[in-house]
Structure 1
Amino acid sequence: MKLLVRAMTWEADGVLSVVLTEPDGVPLPAWEPGAHLDLDLGDGLVRQYSLCGDPGDWTRYEVAVLREERSRGGSRYVHETLRPGQLVEVRGPRNHFRLEDAERYVFIAGGIGITPILPMLAAVADSGQPYRLHYGGRRRAGMAFTGALAEYGDAVHLAPQDEVGLLDLDTALGDAGPGTLVYCCGPAPLIDAVVERCPPELLRVERFAAPEREPLPAGAVEVELARSGRTVLVPPDRSILQVLLDEGVEVANDCRDGICGSCETKVIAGEVDHRDHVLTDRERREGATMMVCVSRACGGRLVLDR
């Protein structure tokens, strides 16, 4: 769908929020906290941005984009080229970072990782469940949405690194026990540090970049495409996604690192060697879908809904 860029606002140094609306005023597809949009910025440039507005407002979507010094093109385009009044092709919303029921919540955000946390925080505050947000950034001026966060009072702990140092994760996670869910989004070092300290059954993360991959197993994979009745052979040095694209099979994709979820494909038969950072442990055990950009087969064959 094509949406109109209605407004752009500075939320912090280097962070622009973008409000998107339907040009004809029809209701936008519903979404829940943790969801993101795919923005097609032209010339094959597709990027995912977390929705950070109000899920109850069907008239608008809001995302926020950090100006990355080492941008691969997405943030540079938003900051330098995208302007109110333009139309943008949008896919979604999609959600692989859902807010689940819990007795208590701990939210940990680093930098622009605050964006998917904002609607989660609002939902949990409305529910009456206890929660705490620990939000770190390099400096206060670069930490977005601090004004909006002030309404949560002492439940929010801000930690600008140049003032107080790094987030004290041992304290933040000290009382994360049974009944607690920990949601974390931010740069890889922060997520890795949280992973080291938090039991996996309590932790939900969303990554901006994939950690270093394990070597792929030796051996080719035979992939049957159920819709077309074709079978393709995926050699050990190539991904299923690469082979499908070469064979003319249309598969949405962006990161090719198993973190965005755009290439998610339904699995009809076969056991998957999951190597993504999107699916939960339960979803991996169920084996109903896979990210074909990084995941393989535990055996030598898969049947996919393509």
Structure 2
Amino acid sequence: MPKPLTVAVVAGAALLARRAMRRRIQASPLWPMPALEEPVSGRPRSRALRLLVAAHEEVADGVVQLRLEGRDLPRWEPGAHLDLVLPSGLVRQYSLCGDPADTSSYTVATRLVEDGRGGSREVHEQLAEGMEIEVRGPRNRFPLVEAESYVFVAGGIGITPVLPMLRALPEGADWRLLYCGRSRESMPFVAELEKLDRVTVVTGVPDLDALEVPEGAAVYCCGPEGLMAAVEERYPQVYLERFTPRAAAPGGAFELELRRTGRTLTVPAESSVLAAVRAELPDTLYSCEQGFCGTCQQRVLEGEVDHRDELPTDAERDDSMLICVSRARSERLVLDM
């Protein structure tokens, strides 16, 4: 059985941990990185950028890497991601996997999901070098914390947020990576990673029970939902990065009052709060519809919320909700709308 996991940072100390990590990263000979001028948060940035698709190349079977160029781009920390606003209007999130010190370009990669909702296919088939694309961010809900040691588990395209973390670790840091995928050909950056003696590459299903996790280690995982669920079962305090929503639990109908507009609605069991609200207030802002970006966040005045979003802290949920995915636990919910 794996040893119990001790997380290095307790709730409420995340900002201090990130600042300490910045100081350590800046001293690292592996990848000098300038300090950020402002803390990275999980909330969306209001600034949208128009960037040039300078490179669009296949880096593994079914995986395309984009290099997006601009000027004086906002800096970012390992674990951060971008929102890409695709030509169709779809918004999708992709982890940054390039150099945080580079303020002239961002690098992301995405795997083609054949039975997905169309975002990855649009990136693969409709984006091309020379086009412009709107991006929002960067934002970070997967920060690299300071810890005694690190264990990374990545599945397939889930390697993208891990790459900058490995490069940012100070010289002499205690870390190991388990990288798994369907085949070597489908695993981006595998040749680069296999050169490191702390990396274990596995094709097929990994043996997580054989994973060595030292006391005091911070465990990070990104990859398919099945892999993350298995790691989370063994290490409940693991840091996870998701870009698809968890399977939704059933929910019943409830009453929704929009206090400022004086309207009371019924949200059916098969509908979202966002859909019900937009039927009355069609100008209500939204974006990802998956509980990630925060665009649809609304203040809650009364009622108990069933939070189904991916906001990083409980403090952000105290008096608000993302109406695209979250619902009511109570029979009635009142929003400040």
More helix by share: 1
Distance, in Å, in 2 between the alignment partners of 1:241 and 1:277 is 13
1:34-183 matches, cutoff 5 A: 34-123=79-168, 125-126=169-170, 128-150=172-194, 153-161=196-204, 166-172=205-211, 174-175=212-213, 177=215, 179-183=216-220
Match in the other structure for 1:203: 238
Aligned to 2:77: 32
Change (3 A) 1:86 1:203: same
The answer (yes or no) to whether the contact 2:309–2:322 under 8 Å persists in 1 is no
Structure 2 match to 1:296: 327
Shift of 1:4: 0.2
Distance in 1 (CA, whole Å) between partners of 2:259 and 2:193 is 50
Counterpart residue number, 1:12: 60
What amino acid is the match of 1:20? L
Give me the whole-angstrom Cα distance separating, in 2, the residues matched to 1:274 and 1:119: 34
- CA 1:78–1:56: 2 relative to 1, 3 Å: same
Identity of aligned residues (%): 42
Matches within 5 A, 1:213-224: 213-224=248-259
Tell me which of the two structures has the higher relative contact order, counting C-alpha pairs closer than 8 angstroms and 6 or more residues apart: 2
Q: What residue identity is the alignment partner of 2:324?
A: C
Deviations 1:16-38 (A, max 9, x none): 1100011xxx3011222222212
User: Counterparts of 2:76 and 2:63 in 1: how far apart (Å)?
Assistant: 23
Q: Using the alignment, how far apart are the partners of 1:60 and 1:127 within structure 2?
A: 26
- The equivalent residue for 2:282 is 248
Please report how far the alpha carbon of residue 277 of structure 1 lies from its aligned counterpart in structure 2 after TM superposition: 4.8
* Deviation (angstroms), 1:272: 4.9
Give me the TM-score of the superposition, normalised by structure 2. 0.76
Task: Tell me: CA distance 1:27–1:234, structure 2 relative to 1, closer, same or farther (3 Å).
Answer: farther
Asked if the contact 2:72–2:104 (Cα under 8 Å) also holds between the matched residues in 1, the reply is yes
Unaligned runs of 5+ in 2: 1-48
- SS where residue 253 of structure 1 aligns? coil
1:292 shift after superposition: 1.5
Gaps of 5+ in 1: none
8 Å contact from structure 2 (residues 74, 138) kept in 1? yes
Q: Which amino acid aligns with 1:253?
A: S
- Give the root-mean-square deviation of aligned CA atoms: 2.5
Aligned partners of 1:272, 1:249: CA distance in 2, in Å? 25
Structure 1's 156 and 224: CA in aligned 2 closer, same or farther, altered over 3 A? farther
- Separation of aligned partners in 2, 1:235 and 1:198: 36
Mapped to 2, the partners of 1:230 and 1:52 lie a distance apart of 47
